[in-house]
Structure 1
Amino acid sequence: MPRNLIFVAPFPLETTMRFARALPRLRSVGAGDVRVLAIMQEPPKGDDARVFDDVVRVSDALSARDLIEATQLLASRHGPPHRVLGILEAVQVQLAAVRAHFGVPGTDVRTADLFRDKARMKDALRAAGLPCARHRLLASMRDAEDFAREVGFPMVLKPPAGMGAKATFRVSAIDQLRGAIDGMRVSAQKPMLAEEFLRGREHSFETITTGGQVRFHSVSEYFPTPLEVLENPWMQWCCVLPRELTREHDDAREVGVAAIRALGLDDGFTHMEWFRRADGSIAIGEIAQRPPGANITRMTGLAHDFDPYLAWARAVVDGGFDGPYERRWSVGCAFLRGMGRGRVARLEGVDEANAKVRQYVEEAKLPTIGAPKSDSYEGDGYAIVRARDTDTVKSALKTIIETVRVHYA
């Protein structure tokens, strides 16, 4: 009998479908037969429609009630679910609720919520003795003023269940803080998370965890930080996986492993953002119970010559790990965007950049002419490069962001 794997996502975006496509491939690695089912707001089309044996459409894929009802319908057609899966941070707590309802193994509600609620997460990390940004959940202007007196300015405001740098912004003075609290109508029913502004070089730390043990880890570096890019819409952002993981990364590994242990993850991928301060100390920004975005999953596979999407499927379905994986390459990604607003009108410098660095380009997506400018720090397009040494990757990225120009109208 095939095992029923239910994959949940609101929309069949390319980055999402890369994980879904890995599930049928479990058959080819001796993991047994599987039946791949889906719950989505918008079913996939074309070749991606053949990834799934059945799809149930729902009006809200972030509603636990909708997901439970859809799972019940799939169970009536195919039998009970073996696993209930998804890769988006915004759906992890709801997936845990579905597992609890049907008695399906996997991350439970308490653990999923601990990863999702950034205030509770930081409380748990600090209780475990781990360094992270000082924070406070604000329910009033008085809370905000008290926290400002404690940490000073600038500080960072974000939703308690935010994702990465989305809906995150910096305030630099008391008047800005008051305006933000009033504008967002902060209350006990609608709190806002405030954090001290961490200064330093920003990195990420990724893991594959099975049975509560970290089996694989990787580190990336951000140039500049995502928050700076959000605040400056003209900046082009780069992410680099250096080939060499040195002693400088040892304390990040120790902190990252301890954070996963403190939050209680059994099987899955994690993505942690952390800072190296000027004095050499590190601090955790936050950690998510999901694969990383910003093409880091793809880049991690390229750096170690393995299929990261299949590795995710092995971890969350079977608690399996097929490593170890040797870090053989440096990989980087340049995210393309430009100054101005409106729609993408034209691109300049693409042929010139291609002539200089095409031997290093592994994957690229150019901005689409006529598309509205993205409000994401990931920009309107990207180029992923790979080489044996880190300096070559950084040089190729520099060429791309200095040569390619995106114009809007």
Structure 2
Amino acid sequence: MFSLARAHANGNRYLLLLGSDILLRERGIVSALRTYPGPVIGMSESPATSSANRFFDHVLTADYYDAGQALAAVEAFERETGLRPDTVVPIIEMTVHVSVAIAGHYGLPTLSDACLARVRDKHTMKVAFEEAGVPCARHRLFSTLPQLRAAADELTFPLVLKPRDFAGNVGTIKVNDPSELPAAFDYCRNSLLEIAPTYNFADGRYQAEEFVAATHEVSVEVANHEGQRAVLAVTSKSKAGAPYFTEKGQLIPSPDSDNEALRQVALDACAALLIDRGLAHVEVLVNGDKLSVVEVAARPGGDGIMDLIDRVYGYSPYDIHIASYRGVMDKLPDLPRQPRGIGATVFLKAPAGTVAEVHTVNELTSQEVALYTIAKVGDWSRPQTSYLARDGLLECFEYGQPDEQDPVAFQARVDELAKIRADQLFTVTETAPEEGR
């Protein structure tokens, strides 16, 4: 355990950071250690399994997806040491409700229960958008196949099915006509049930949305603080095609960065959901001047987006996120809009089969700033349907002014590098294991 000196000097208080121990969120730990005057504490069911946990002052042993278990661990730590949290900061999606529970118990700044109800359920989210005039797809709820058929009768095909409680494309699938409903229902439900034990999800919570035609999709990263809102960056998404629409990577700055209508829609979406603290990740479909908000997450964007903003614009978004949850800002800072370069992340995909070997790549180009492997020997390289299919990650960055950069050409170079690295990193066999990864 850390020395208690810093904790005592800080009034027996510490910052609790939830979810920054996983890949592509570790820079949240750096920000917390840099900006907070006392100990920074993490939480994990198995603290020894993530190397990132070594950088916390201490790690509480608990499941940070489980609000009851997490709060019990914080209370037990207080009884043992006399230390109490004075800030609870969520970094990933499934820690948002946990942060609200712990912060509410201790009377700390956090999102409201009304906000939580809107951001953690895609149905109440869509209803809030409709009431506020935020453009979004029409939708209906279903739990069973007969209910799905009835819901489809009230909508216009094509449709998109998805679980109400999760992100990362898990269970998302396009349906072109009524004949595809049974297979699509099975896919949506089975995908959710695969991860349900990890997150305590319940069966039967799904929705169908009308498919929105779009040329591309972006995300808008928004800072929120006590009624103030500002756009940090616009991110272009690299997507796989129908029927799964899997995210393959991210690029900053997006060619849509100066689209003022887009930026305003993102701000309006956060206001509709009552997000008044920390960062939010707003996903929007773009088709000319027509916009449709897909969903909003009340936490920093994933997939290395925060790291890209840091490289491209020269500041850490986590600093703003943490300061807002600490309640130490009077107003949001002025945020730079002039990029100093262009950056992208792309997820690596091994060929189909069982991963037999994972190799090391020692020589990288000057553009490549990070190369990680996710797949392990014995894993099945499943089809590219959701975040579960990611086998590795490549991050690239190049200095330059906007008039010197070609985002399309840069993305093409990064995509080509990703294919090369995947071939170098992974040897697979054609034999599939009995159960996929």
Are the structure 2 counterparts of residues 243 and 88 from structure 1 closer, same or farther at C-alpha, using a change threshold of 3 Å?
Answer: closer
SS of residue matched to 2:84: coil
CA distance in 2: counterparts of 1:165 and 1:361, whole angstroms: 27
CA distance in 1: counterparts of 2:165 and 2:318, whole angstroms: 25
Which residue of structure 1 lines up, in the alignment, with residue 207 of structure 2? 193
RMSD over aligned Cα atoms? 3.1
The sequence identity of aligned pairs, in percent, is 23
| Letter in structure 1 aligned against 2:33 | P
**Correspondent of 2:237 among 222, 234, 257:** 222
Moved more, 133-142 or 160-169: 133-142
CA distance in 2: counterparts of 1:189 and 1:372, whole angstroms: 27
**Correspondent of 1:100 among 79, 96, 104:** 104
CA distance in 2: counterparts of 1:162 and 1:224, whole angstroms: 18
| Letter in structure 2 aligned against 1:64 | A
**Correspondent of 2:139 among 135, 142, 145:** 135
TM-score w.r.t. length of structure 1 = 0.84
SS of residue matched to 2:207: strand
Which residue of structure 2 lines up, in the alignment, with residue 399 of structure 1? 416
Gaps of 5+ in 1: 28-32
Which residue of structure 2 lines up, in the alignment, with residue 206 of structure 1? 221
Are the structure 2 counterparts of residues 366 and 189 from structure 1 closer, same or farther at C-alpha, using a change threshold of 3 Å?
Answer: closer
1:62 and 2:77 correspond: no
Does the 8 A contact of 1:243 with 1:329 survive in 2? no
1:408 and 2:428 correspond: yes
Which residue of structure 2 lines up, in the alignment, with residue 123 of structure 1? 127
1:266 and 2:280 correspond: no
CA distance in 2: counterparts of 1:300 and 1:24, whole angstroms: 19
| Letter in structure 1 aligned against 2:396 | V
The Cα shift of 1:89 comes to: 0.7
Which residue of structure 2 lines up, in the alignment, with residue 256 of structure 1? 266
**Correspondent of 2:28 among 19, 27, 32:** 19
**Correspondent of 1:330 among 321, 342, 346:** 342
CA distance in 2: counterparts of 1:226 and 1:72, whole angstroms: 47
Does the 8 A contact of 2:278 with 2:320 survive in 1? no
Which residue of structure 2 lines up, in the alignment, with residue 30 of structure 1? none
Does the 8 A contact of 2:109 with 2:325 survive in 1? no
SS of residue matched to 2:114: helix
1:170 and 2:174 correspond: yes
Moved more, 166-175 or 202-211: 166-175
Moved more, 307-316 or 255-264: 307-316
The Cα shift of 1:209 comes to: 1.8
1:156 and 2:172 correspond: no
CA distance in 1: counterparts of 2:267 and 2:49, whole angstroms: 39
Are the structure 2 counterparts of residues 44 and 112 from structure 1 closer, same or farther at C-alpha, using a change threshold of 3 Å?
Answer: farther
Moved more, 313-322 or 204-213: 313-322
Gaps of 5+ in 2: 1-8, 193-201, 430-437
Where do residues 369-380 of structure 1 align in structure 2 (5 Å cutoff)? 370=377, 372-373=379-380, 375=382, 376-377=386-387, 379-380=390-391
The Cα shift of 1:190 comes to: 2.1
Instruction: Report how many residues are paired.
Output: 390
Are the structure 2 counterparts of residues 125 and 50 from structure 1 closer, same or farther at C-alpha, using a change threshold of 3 Å?
Answer: same
CA distance in 1: counterparts of 2:48 and 2:297, whole angstroms: 26
Does the 8 A contact of 1:12 with 1:43 survive in 2? no
